Amino acid sequence: MNILILGGTIFLGRALVEAALQNDHQITLFNRGRTNPDLFPEVEKIIGDRGGDLSTLQDHRWDSVIDTCGYIPRLVRRSAEALADRAGHYTFISSLSVYADPSQVGIDESAPVGTLDDPTVEEVTGDTYGPLKALCEQAAESAMPGRVLVSRPGLIVGPYDPTDRFTYWPHRVAQGGEVLAPGRPGRAVQFIDVRDLAEWTVRMLEAGKTGVYNADGPAAPLTMSDLLASCKAESGSDAAFTWVSEAFLLEQQVGMWMEMPLWVPETQPEHAGFFAFDCRKAIAEGLAFRPFAETVRATLDWDASQPPDRVLRAGITREREETLLQEWKNRQIK
């Protein structure tokens, strides 16, 4: 197949290129050429900005397009409309954040998506991100009706993750010592290895599949305790976990998700479904997951290749962690 990837040099984009090349597809990248421009010298590259002139796409034709970087509905619509007569299939990478009510457990693809009072808003914030992604899905489908595959992943993890929202845990546990662990050890977590998502996406477009799919893992229930134990085993560290209650973390104003990755308070009903999405539809279509220990190992290997003074973009600082642990211990003594 001849595949156009919008983006293709960051995290999921590069994993998609690798998966497509492994399956002997012809790849063209369309991006601004600013990030990792030397990646994939063997593929065709078209320099451009989806928000600007798309005329550089006019003389080409592709079997399929993968849109990895659509956040603004107006721009997704422009891209899809420009490619409607030049490609047979369009894959849009969306997000599980589209759903309007994450308090529900077991949300499947039929659940309502979020909306905006003003659908012309283009500022991406924590409140607008999900509804904007939902509008992007609709824009793509409107431009190419019946030819769009929508993938809604949750937290994408693994090598080259620019957010560090998962990397924090293998990185921190590998450092050893006393590690603050958030909430209940048996609390469920969900995420998907970027390579699993990429390989499944390529298989889906090869088959010409369309429609909407929740795409998250793992295959079997995974707890925070399982994840931390795997981080310890794969890193070989002497880490010891001190489990700190959600009430304490909330009282100390510890930020969920970014400051304390993979932690969303169970005690707040509005988050009840956050790590409990229903992905059976995608699994029935071949979405498969490598053992999460492999994800931890690959993340550790990539993290070890980074500059030693790199500051992670997510995760609690060691100083704050130590302060919180000391305060937690003081309270247990009283």
Distances from the Cα of 163 to the Cα of 159, 232, 267, angstroms: 11, 21, 26
Chain CA centroid to CA 234, Å: 22
| 121 and 186 share one domain | no
Cis peptide upstream of residue 153 (ω within 30 degrees of 0): no
- Copy the structure tokens of residue 332: 């247990």
131 is a domain residue: yes
Same domain, 87 and 176: no
Same domain, 37 and 120: yes
Give the domain-ending residue among 153, 181, 200.
153
With residues binned 3-state (H G I as helix, E B as strand, rest as coil), the percentages for the chain, rounded to 5, are 35, 15, 45
Are residues 148 and 15 both part of a single domain?
A: yes
**Residue 298 and residue 175 share a domain:** yes
0.85 surpassed by pTM: yes
For residues 141 and 227, membership in a common domain is answered with no
The enclosing domain of 260 has a CATH number of 3.90.25
Between 72 and 334, the more confident residue is 72
My answer on whether 101 and 181 are in the same domain is: no
Residues 224 and 128 in one domain: no
Secondary structure of 273-317 as H, E, C letters? CCCCCCCHHHHHCCCCCCCHHHHHHHHHHHHHCCCCCCCCCCCCC
Listed residue (91, 93, 137) closest to 114, CA to CA: 137
pLDDT (tens digit per residue) in 122-136: 999 999 999 999 999
H helical segments located in the chain:
12-22, 73-83, 129-143, 168-175, 194-206, 224-235, 246-251, 280-284, 292-304, 318-333
Q: Which two tokens stand for residue 222?
A: 């995974």
Confirm whether 210 is domain-assigned: no
Distance CA 144, CA 14 (A): 25
Count of C-beta atoms within a 10 Å radius of residue 16: 27
Domain count for the chain: 2
What local confidence, expressed as pLDDT, does residue 219 receive? 86
Residue 177 neighbours by CB distance under 10 Å: 13
Handedness of CA 268, 218, 149, 89 (dihedral sign): positive
- 33 Cβ partners below 8 Å, 6+ apart? 45, 47
C-alpha closest to that of 151 among 105, 90, 206: 90
Instruction: Give the mean pLDDT of the chain.
Output: 97
pLDDT digits (tens, 9 = 90+) for 69-95: 999 999 999 999 999 999 999 999 999
Residue 243 is assigned to a structural domain of this protein: yes
CA–CA separation, 231 vs 234, rounded Å? 5
Is 286 part of a structural domain of the chain? Answer: no
Last residue of one domain, picked from the residues 126, 153, 180: 153
Does residue 334 surpass a pLDDT of 70?
A: no
Asked if residue 223 has pLDDT above 90, the reply is yes
Backbone phi, psi, residue 6, to 5°: -85, 110
Residue 258 covered by a domain: yes
| Shared domain check, 180 and 43 | no
d(CA 30, CA 281): 30
Containing structural domain, residue 178: 168-190+219-271+292-333
The whole-number pLDDT of residue 102 equals 95
The DSSP output letter for 260 is B
Distances (CA, A) of 77 to 32, 138, 142, 188: 19, 9, 8, 37
Same domain, 145 and 185: no
Distance of CA 138 to the CA centre of its chain: 20
φ, ψ of residue 99 to 5 degrees: the values are -70, 140
Choose the final residue of a domain: 153, 182, 200: 153
Find out whether 92 and 140 touch, Cβ atoms under 8 Å.
yes
pLDDT in tens, 251-274: 999 999 999 999 999 999 999 999
In-domain check, residue 100: yes
Query: Domain check: are 172 and 316 in the same one?
Result: yes
Domain with residue 61: its CATH number is 3.40.50.720
What pLDDT, on a 0 to 100 scale, did the predictor assign at position 195?
98
On whether residue 26 sits in a domain, the answer given is yes
Does residue 54 sit within a domain? yes
333 pLDDT exceeds 90? no
Mean pLDDT confidence for 52-63: 93
- pLDDT band for position 332 (cuts 50, 70, 90): confident
3-state secondary structure 147-164: CEEEEEECCEECCCCCCC
Q: Is the same domain home to 65 and 184?
A: no
Q: Where are the alpha helices (DSSP H) in 23-98?
A: 73-83
